[in-house]
Amino acid sequence: MRRKNNSRWWAEAEIRVQFFDLDPMQVVWHGNYVRYLEIVRCALLDRIDYNYEAMNASGYIWPIIDMQLRYTGPARFGKLLKLRADLIEWENCMKIEYLITDAETGARLTRASTTQVAIDMKNEEMCFASPAILFEKLGLTPPV
């Protein structure tokens, strides 16, 4: 995965690891990272003013069609985690890269990416190019 530290569209959030997030080995259960990605993805979508309510109002839904996660270090109970999401592609899909780090040490714990595509709610067909509304939310001119 490539990391664009200078992404124009990004968001960050922090969470503290809760006891109920742990597995029997006393580290965050791998499935909970999907929830962590959702937290920071929502922050990113709010930042560009195209959250799930706005998507629905625009006539499109954006399901995740691909998700990649790479765990590089354990997150443990009580640790403060820094979550970051960067929008890196938007022309034909919405691809977001994520970085989860220990907020205190800066140690990288997880990298991830998700790819979402637009589905027109009227006909339930996948759009092969992102709809104009996404470009408008990003302050860009839609391609012709």
Q: Determine how β-strand 80-89 pairs with β-strand 10-16.
A: antiparallel
pTM for the model: 0.93
Between CA 46 and CA 12 the distance in angstroms is 11
Nearest of 42, 40, 31, 36 to residue 17 by alpha carbon: 36
For residue range 96-132, list pLDDT tens digits in order.
999 999 999 999 999 999 999 999 999 999 999 999 9
Residue 2 has pLDDT above 60, yes or no: no
Confidence of residue 135 (pLDDT cuts 50, 70, 90): very high
10-137 folds as Thiol Ester Dehydrase; Chain A (3.10.129)
Q: Determine how β-strand 108-116 pairs with β-strand 64-71.
A: antiparallel
Q: Which amino acid is at 14?
A: E
